[in-house]
């Protein structure tokens, strides 16, 4: 059973059902049932055309469920019992689905959450982590979104800003783990750039490319996390960096600055430095100031504190950090780093250990444990 193939086909099949007139919740349930059927049947009787098979079975499942509903008993649609030979509907419906999930009846936050769960393939826990809310809160938000659009015909797409937010979060999740997820987000954003001249769309693509260019150097043997300052820059993809910078420069020339362009500018400054010591931290702080004005994000404020610490010294960084809530994820790790640079090794070691216990991934946890051990070693006479 090719699970990767099933995962790849799921958004396309879902899109075809919605385009045929299925409501989103019903289509999602039908596709899930078809996937279960595929897992059961395909090992012994693989279809010649997997996508056509899934479309046929999922559509039949949807119609069966629709006919069971009293209010829809009048809908009698003839369905072929065997998959039609051939490629089926060749269009890639994934980006179209992103727009449909950003339905005007949903708030932007709910639309993003629903799309990440239903189309992006993220778990409720992953989405909750991205939004800095408890998992139970996010589960309720997604459930409310599904109820809101239940029975709605998806023929009114949402706005570009919501779709960009979804693509950004999908890329971030993939950048930290699943390579294919990040690559898929880049592919969809490239497609969106070809469809619109919005500078923020180009800014998001530039941001993705600049970050993805560093991917090969982010981990060492055994998945060991390598911080930006310690990465082997010779392993960075200079082709992706050059493309990202070119796209960013064209977007910035439009003089319609947005948060993704500002983030991409910060990434470009990191990419431009031949070594960590040559990083232009003063400019990076200036871009964080712009980004903070655009977003007011506490995460941006946290990252700005690190940049201030690099540009103006650890005490200045700690003063900037005082404006950030200690409850924010990675606060303890940032404070530990700044305290270590300020010479307070004992408290730095304690905070590295505390941060490791709150880490959201195994590589991050192990890295922080190593940092705590390294600083404790420095304390020994």
**Which tens digits make up the pLDDT trace of 313-344?**
999 999 999 999 999 989 999 999 999 999 99
Mean pLDDT lowest among 88-92, 96-100, 224-228: 88-92
Where does the pLDDT of residue 2 fall: very low under 50, low under 70, confident under 90, or very high at 90 and above?
Answer: low
- Look at residue 152 in the predicted model and tell me its pLDDT: 57
Distance CA 374, CA 71 (A): 67
Boundaries of every domain in the chain: 3-81, 197-225+233-279, 330-381
Does the structure show a pLDDT above 70 at 72?
no
Task: With 0.85 as the threshold, say if the pTM is over it.
Answer: no
> Who wins on pLDDT, 37 or 257?
257
Does the structure show a pLDDT above 80 at 180?
no
Give mean pLDDT, residues 9-23: 77
Give mean pLDDT, residues 136-144: 83
- Look at residue 54 in the predicted model and tell me its pLDDT: 87
- Look at residue 183 in the predicted model and tell me its pLDDT: 83
Report for 14-28, 77-91, 188-202, 268-282: range of highest mean pLDDT: 268-282
- Look at residue 75 in the predicted model and tell me its pLDDT: 30
Mean pLDDT lowest among 43-47, 125-129, 192-196, 305-309: 125-129
Does the structure show a pLDDT above 80 at 96?
no
Give mean pLDDT, residues 341-367: 92
Give mean pLDDT, residues 365-381: 92
Does the structure show a pLDDT above 80 at 271?
yes
Q: What percent of the chain has pLDDT over 90?
A: 44
Where does the pLDDT of residue 240 fall: very low under 50, low under 70, confident under 90, or very high at 90 and above?
Answer: very high
Mean pLDDT lowest among 5-19, 32-46, 143-157, 294-308: 143-157
Where does the pLDDT of residue 86 fall: very low under 50, low under 70, confident under 90, or very high at 90 and above?
Answer: very low
- Look at residue 259 in the predicted model and tell me its pLDDT: 96
Mean pLDDT (the chain) is 83
């Amino acid at each position: 059973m090719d699970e990767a193939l099933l995962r790849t086909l799921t958004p396309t099949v879902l899109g075809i059902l919605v385009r045929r007139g299925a409501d989103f919740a019903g289509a999602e349930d039908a596709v899930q049932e078809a996937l279960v059927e595929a897992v059961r049947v395909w090992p012994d009787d693989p279809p010649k055309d997997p996508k056509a098979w899934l479309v046929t079975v999922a559509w039949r499942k949807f119609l069966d469920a629709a006919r069971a509903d009293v209010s829809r008993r009048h809908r009698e649609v003839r369905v072929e019992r065997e998959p039609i030979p051939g490629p089926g509907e060749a269009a890639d419906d994934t980006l179209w689905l992103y727009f449909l999930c950003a339905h005007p009846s949903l708030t932007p936050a709910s639309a993003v959450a629903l799309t990440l769960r239903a189309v992006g393939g993220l778990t409720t826990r992953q989405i909750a982590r991205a939004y800095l809310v408890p998992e139970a809160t996010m589960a309720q938000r997604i459930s409310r979104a599904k109820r809101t659009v239940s029975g709605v015909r998806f023929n009114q797409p949402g706005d570009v800003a919501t779709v960009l937010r979804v693509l950004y979060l999908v890329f971030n999740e993939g950048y930290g783990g699943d390579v294919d997820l990040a690559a898929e987000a880049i592919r969809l954003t490239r497609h969106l750039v070809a469809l619109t001249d919005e500078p923020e769309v180009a800014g998001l693509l530039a941001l993705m490319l600049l970050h993805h260019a560093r991917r090969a150097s982010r981990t060492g043997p055994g998945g060991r996390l390598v911080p930006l300052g310690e990465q082997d820059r010779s392993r960075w993809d200079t082709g992706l960096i050059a493309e990202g910078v070119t796209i960013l420069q064209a977007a910035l020339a439009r003089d319609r600055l947005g948060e993704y362009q500002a983030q991409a500018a910060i990434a470009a400054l990191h990419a431009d430095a031949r070594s960590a010591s040559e990083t232009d931290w003063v400019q990076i702080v200036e871009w964080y100031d712009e980004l903070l004005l655009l977003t007011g994000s506490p995460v941006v404020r946290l990252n700005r504190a690190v940049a201030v610490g690099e540009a103006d010294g650890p005490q200045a960084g700690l003063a900037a950090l005082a404006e950030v809530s200690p409850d924010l994820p990675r606060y303890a790790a940032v404070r530990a780093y700044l305290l270590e640079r300020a010479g307070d090794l004992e408290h730095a070691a304690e905070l590295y250990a505390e941060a490791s216990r709150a880490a959201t991934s195994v590589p991050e946890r192990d890295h922080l444990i190593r940092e705590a051990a390294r600083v404790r070693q420095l304390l020994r006479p």
